[in-house]
Amino acid sequence: MDNNVDLTQQNEESYTIPSERLPWAGLIALAMAGFICILTETIPAGLLIPISEGLGVSESLAGQLVTAYALGSLIAAIPITTATQGWHRKPLLLLCITGFLVFNTITALSSSLTLTIIARFFAGVTAGVLWGMTAGYARLMAPESLKGRAMAVAMIGTPLALAFGVPVGTFLGSLVGWRTVFGIMSLLAALLILWIIWKLPDFPGQTSEKRMTLLKVFITPGVRPILFVVLAWILSHNILYTYIAPYLSEAGLAQRVDLVLLVFGITSLVGIWIIGVFIERILRTLVLISLAGFGLASLSLGIGISQPTIIYIAVALWGLTFGGAATLTQTAIADNAKKGADIAQSMLVTVWNLAIGGGSAIGAILMESFDVSTFPWVMFILILLGFLVAFRANVFGFPPKNNE
């Protein structure tokens, strides 16, 4: 959304967009919201074995905690984002963070698989709404020339969660139990609520006459190729990431899950920093390089499954080329959809979570029908399809900038 001035004038407590500087306090709040969201989503990957033991279920069934979360986001993102277009942004964000507080607390206390899955589903609903509004919120706070960079800062919670949250959570889970980890996430949500109330500016939602229909946004040139790339990319990623512990066990690294996740997360952080520096100038080039590098990492993980050194190098490349995926695709779809950016973001969130759920489901099928060594080869096929679509989307979707 680029109608910042109009929106601000509608608000009795108007927020003045600073000239050529980033609104760090607000962006940090959004980044922390993303951190909690991603940590809630992905922490079962690092704690899959203790969760399965604690709930008395198989590892593949425990993996469906990820599927339940993704299903919630998948179902909720488009209809709830559409229904809340007119809501003020700050109260809606506070409602989302309160949802994480409640549903992570239920997960921490529940001894029932059914109740845990229900809590995970509604945590996913909360996440779907959050991701549908985060990019637009960040763009509203930033001056025109820094909108892409503002989104990169707002999205930094994702690689931070992967770099430090998941491995630290995995380590803590081995010391104090996985339930305590979910309890800590509830505490983080409570602290973030206070920070949002104190520091985050508010903006009104879109007026009814400025809202675009779902169909109009979907047929906007460039939107559909971006959605396909997201589907291929995130599906490929989650086939392995959800079941990283069983894969590493096959590779002889069963005791190094936290270290491997740390390598992945740190390189993801480096990746998003690179994206933040160059995204305003060479978005198309960054997308193609990221997809190609991800494909190379997939091949390496397939070829070097019995070589720990190769696995560490491949995981580093995997993280480096995946860290900026959210920022790249969200920026691209916002640029293409323009006034329909929030609805387009909700579509992206829906496809993203369809891919997360699909990745965990496909991974479970591959693990039960074949073995984990098949994961990297399926990943490579998917990412190759995504690369081809991105490469062809050179007019709409991922067009070159003036200096590309």
Kindly report, residue by residue over 309-362, the tens digit of the pLDDT. Answer: 999 999 999 999 998 898 899 889 988 987 777 788 889 988 887 887 788 889
Q: What is the mean pLDDT of the chain?
A: 86
Query: Does the structure show a pLDDT above 70 at 83?
Result: yes
Question: Is 385 inside any structural domain?
Answer: yes
Averaged pLDDT for residues 16-43: 84
Question: Is 114 inside any structural domain?
Answer: yes
Query: Does the structure show a pLDDT above 80 at 13?
Result: no
Query: What is the pTM (predicted TM-score) of this model?
Result: 0.76
pLDDT at 10: 40
Query: Which residue bears the tokens 């930094």?
Result: 156
Tell me the H-state helices in 338-395: 341-369, 375-392
- Tell me how far CA of residue 16 lies from CA of 7, 74, 199, 293, 342, in angstroms: 11, 35, 14, 41, 21
Q: 233 with 294: CB under 8 angstroms?
A: yes
pLDDT at 17: 56
Query: Does the structure show a pLDDT above 80 at 103?
Result: yes
Q: What is the CA radius of gyration of the chain?
A: 20
Averaged pLDDT for residues 158-178: 80
Domain holding 239: CATH number?
1.20.1250.20
DSSP for 68-95 reads HHHHHHHHHHHHHHHHTTTS-HHHHHHH
Residue 317 backbone phi and psi in degrees, to 5: -65, -40
CA distance 119 to 66: 11
Question: What pLDDT, in 10s, does the model give residues 36-51?
Answer: 998 998 888 778 888 8
Domain, as residue range, for 65: 4-392
pLDDT at 16: 55
CA distance 190 to 343: 28
pLDDT at 167: 77
Question: Is 15 inside any structural domain?
Answer: yes
Query: Does the structure show a pLDDT above 60 at 78?
Result: yes
Query: Which residue bears the tokens 């959570």?
Result: 169
Please name the amino acid found at residue 149. R
Query: Does the structure show a pLDDT above 60 at 8?
Result: no
Query: Does the structure show a pLDDT above 60 at 246?
Result: yes
Reported as a pLDDT band with limits 50, 70 and 90, residue 273 is confident
pLDDT at 5: 38
- Tell me how far CA of residue 262 lies from CA of 46, 269, 383, in angstroms: 11, 11, 23
pLDDT at 162: 67
Question: Is 400 inside any structural domain?
Answer: no
Total count of residues recorded for the chain = 404
Q: 271 with 324: CB under 8 angstroms?
A: yes
pLDDT above 90 covers a percentage of the chain that reads: 39
Burial per residue of 37-53, b for 16 or more beta-carbon CB atoms within 10 angstroms, e otherwise:
bbbbbbbbbbbbbbbbe
pLDDT at 19: 58
Question: What pLDDT, in 10s, does the model give residues 54-72?
Answer: 888 877 788 788 888 878 8
> Measuring CA to CA, which residue among 235, 398, 237, 399 is closest to residue 329?
398
> Measuring CA to CA, which residue among 386, 348, 381, 346 is closest to residue 362?
381
Looking at residue 370, the DSSP 8-state letter turns out to be S
DSSP for 337-349 reads HGGGHHHHHHHHH
Question: Is 397 inside any structural domain?
Answer: no
CA distance 44 to 63: 7
Instruction: Measure CA of the first residue to CA of the last residue in the chain; give whole Å.
Output: 25
CA distance 39 to 345: 20
Question: Is 229 inside any structural domain?
Answer: yes
Question: Is 104 inside any structural domain?
Answer: yes
CA distance 70 to 349: 10
Looking at residue 12, the DSSP 8-state letter turns out to be S
Residues 6+ apart with CB under 8 A from 156: 31, 34, 269, 272, 276
Question: What pLDDT, in 10s, does the model give residues 117-167?
Answer: 999 999 999 998 898 788 788 888 888 777 778 887 887 887 777 667 777
Question: Is 124 inside any structural domain?
Answer: yes
pLDDT at 195: 95
Per the structure, the count of domains in the chain is: 1
